[in-house]
C-alpha cells in the first residue's frame, strides 16, 4: 500500500476496540468452562491489550499517554464499536462476539498493517483469534442441542451490532464494501458448517446504528468504564 499514514485520530477506534474487548475477556479470568480456556481467553485478551497500547502510543502527541487515553476519557469520547462492549453472557455469547469481531479485525489489520503502528505480529494474532472462535463455533453449533440453542441465540442477539463494523472510519483507507462482503461470506461459511442459521434481522439498531464510532454507546458500557477507570481516577496524578 502506498498511501500515507492515516491522520492519527483515525486509529483511535481501532485502539478502543482492542482495549474494550480485551477488558471484557479479562472478566472471564477464573470463570472459564475448562482450564485450557482460561489460558486461551487470557491469550486473546493480552494480544488485544498489546494492540491497544501500540495504537495508543501512536496517538500520544495528540491525546497524551496510554493511561490518559484509557482512564481519563469520558464515555462519549470512546470510539469502539458497540459489539466490543457487549457483556460476556455465556461462553457461546463470548465466542460468537469474538467470531464476529475477529472475522472483521483480521482482514482489516491485514489491509492496514503497512500504515499502522502495529507489528506484523498483530495480524498473526488476529488470525489465531479467528481460528479459535471458528473452532469453538463449530463445536458449539454442532455439539449438543443445548450448545446449538445457546450459540444460535447469541448470534441472533449480537447480529444487530455487526452492521456498524463496516461504517467507513474517516482517515482509514479501507475497501469497506469489500471487507463487508468478505465478512459475510466467511460467517456464512462457518455458520453453515456449524449448522447455524445466519440471522435474518437487521444488522443495525434502529436508533443507535453505527453509533459507537461516533461515541454513542450502550448502557453496559458506562458500567464497564466505571469499573475500569475508578482506581486510576481516585488518585489523580499518581504513578503506578
Partner 1 sequence: MTPVTSPPRGRAAGADGPPDGSGPGLEAEDVQAAFDAAVAADERIEPRDWMPDTYRSTLVRQIAQHAHSEIIGMQPEANWITRAPSLRRKAILMAKVQDEAGHGLYLYGAAETLGTSRDELLDKLHAGRQKYSSIFNYPTLTWADVGAIGWLVDGAAITNQVPLCRCSYGPYARAMVRICKEESFHQRQGYELLLALTRGTEAQRAMAQDAVDRWWWPSLMMFGPPDDESSHSAQSMAWKIKRHSNDELRQRFVDICVPQAEALGVTLPDPELRWNEERGHWDFGAIDWQEFREVLKGNGPCNEQRLHRRRTAHENGAWVREAAAAHAAKHTATHATGHTADHAADRTAADRDDRVEPAAAGPAQPNTAPDTAPDTAPDGAGAPSASRSTRSRA
Binding site for partner 1 (CB under 8 A): 19, 23, 26-27, 29-40, 42-43, 45-47, 49-50, 52-53, 56, 66-67, 70-71, 90-91, 128, 131-132, 135-136, 138-140, 142-144, 146-147, 150, 227-228, 230-232, 235, 237-240
- Is the CB of 48 or the CB of 116 nearer to partner 1? 48
- Is the CB of 91 or the CB of 166 nearer to partner 1? 91
DSSP helix/strand/coil, 211: coil
Residues 6+ apart with CB under 8 A from 182: 107
- 171: DSSP letter: T
CB of 81 to partner 1, least distance (A): 20
Q: Grid coordinates representing 224?
A: 464497564
CB of 27 to partner 1, least distance (A): 6
Q: Grid coordinates representing 85?
A: 462492549
CB of 36 to partner 1, least distance (A): 3
Range list of H helices, 79-175:
82-85, 91-112, 120-142, 145-158
Residues 6+ apart with CB under 8 A from 34: none
CB of 79 to partner 1, least distance (A): 17
CB of 78 to partner 1, least distance (A): 15
- Is the CB of 120 or the CB of 170 nearer to partner 1? 120
- Is the CB of 18 or the CB of 165 nearer to partner 1? 18
Closest C-alpha to 151, from 142, 163, 143, 141: 141
Amino acid at each position: 500500500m502506498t498511501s500515507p499514514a492515516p491522520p492519527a485520530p483515525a486509529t483511535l477506534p481501532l485502539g478502543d476496540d482492542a482495549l474494550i474487548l480485551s477488558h471484557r475477556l479479562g472478566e472471564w479470568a477464573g470463570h472459564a468452562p475448562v482450564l485450557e480456556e482460561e489460558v486461551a481467553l487470557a491469550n486473546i485478551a493480552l494480544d488485544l491489550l498489546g494492540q491497544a497500547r501500540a495504537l495508543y502510543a501512536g496517538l500520544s502527541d495528540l491525546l497524551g499517554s496510554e493511561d490518559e487515553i484509557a482512564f481519563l476519557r469520558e464515555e462519549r469520547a470512546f470510539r469502539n464499536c458497540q459489539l466490543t462492549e457487549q457483556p460476556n453472557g455465556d461462553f457461546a455469547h463470548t465466542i460468537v462476539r469474538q467470531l464476529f469481531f475477529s472475522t472483521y479485525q483480521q482482514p482489516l489489520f491485514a489491509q492496514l498493517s503497512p500504515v499502522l503502528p502495529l507489528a506484523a505480529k498483530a495480524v498473526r494474532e488476529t488470525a489465531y483469534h479467528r481460528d479459535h472462535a471458528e473452532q469453538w463455533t463449530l463445536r458449539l453449533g454442532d455439539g449438543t442441542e443445548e450448545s446449538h440453542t445457546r450459540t444460535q441465540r447469541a448470534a441472533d442477539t449480537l447480529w444487530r451490532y455487526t452492521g456498524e463494523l463496516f461504517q467507513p472510519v474517516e482517515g482509514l483507507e479501507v475497501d469497506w464494501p469489500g471487507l463487508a462482503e468478505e465478512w459475510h461470506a466467511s460467517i456464512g461459511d462457518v455458520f453453515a458448517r456449524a449448522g447455524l442459521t445466519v440471522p435474518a434481522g437487521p444488522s443495525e439498531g434502529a436508533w443507535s446504528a453505527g453509533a459507537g464510532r461516533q461515541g454513542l454507546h450502550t448502557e453496559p458500557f458506562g458500567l464497564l468504564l466505571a469499573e475500569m477507570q475508578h482506581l486510576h481516577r481516585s488518585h489523580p496524578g499518581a504513578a503506578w
